[in-house]
Amino acid sequence: MNLFVYGTLMLPEIWFEVTRENNSYSKALLDGFFRSKLKGEVYPGIYRKIGRSVDGLIYYDVSPFAIEKLDIFEGERYQRIKINVTVNRHSFQAETYELSTAYHYLITDEKWSLEEFIRSGNDHFKDNYIGFKRI
């Protein structure tokens, strides 16, 4: 399976810590979604929004074992959905983790930035995110 990621899993060390895989990947774009900061969190969520797009990575050939670990890591706030992403003007089928509707109250109007996460939230995330304890 191909998996589109748009947040903390774009960092190779976090991807490997969760999946234990070194998958090949490419930069990708997901149309029709918006990535935002979540209230009180250092990680983002995406939700459907016409006219917007989210940049991220597509990991190729993710094993069922890794998907199982990722489902546990992402937890109840996210649901895995089927999508199409664009890589170098070509469309690829993939899946991604969308913020579940029940948690839309966490959405802010602020865009989430990987660079800002690396500067300020990475260590806090690794030390405190419950998903690491579950896997």
pLDDT in tens, the chain (135 residues): 999 999 999 999 999 999 999 999 999 999 999 999 999 999 999 999 999 999 999 999 999 999 999 999 999 999 999 999 999 999 999 999 999 999 999 999 999 999 999 988 677 788 888 888 888
CA angle 72, 133, 110 (to 5 degrees): 70
Question: Total structural domains in the chain?
Answer: 1
Pairing of strands 107-111, 25-38: antiparallel
Fill in the amino acid letter for 5: V
Kindly report the CATH number assigned to the domain that includes residue 129. Answer: 3.10.490.10
DSSP 8-class letter at 34: E
How far apart (Å, rounded) are the C-alpha atoms in residues 39 and 46? 13
Tell me which residue has tokens 């929004």.
49
| Alpha-helical regions (H) of 6-63 | 12-19
Task: Find the domain containing 86 and state its range.
Answer: 3-134
Supply the pLDDT for residue 121. Answer: 65
Write down the pTM of the prediction.
0.94
Supply the pLDDT for residue 9. Answer: 97
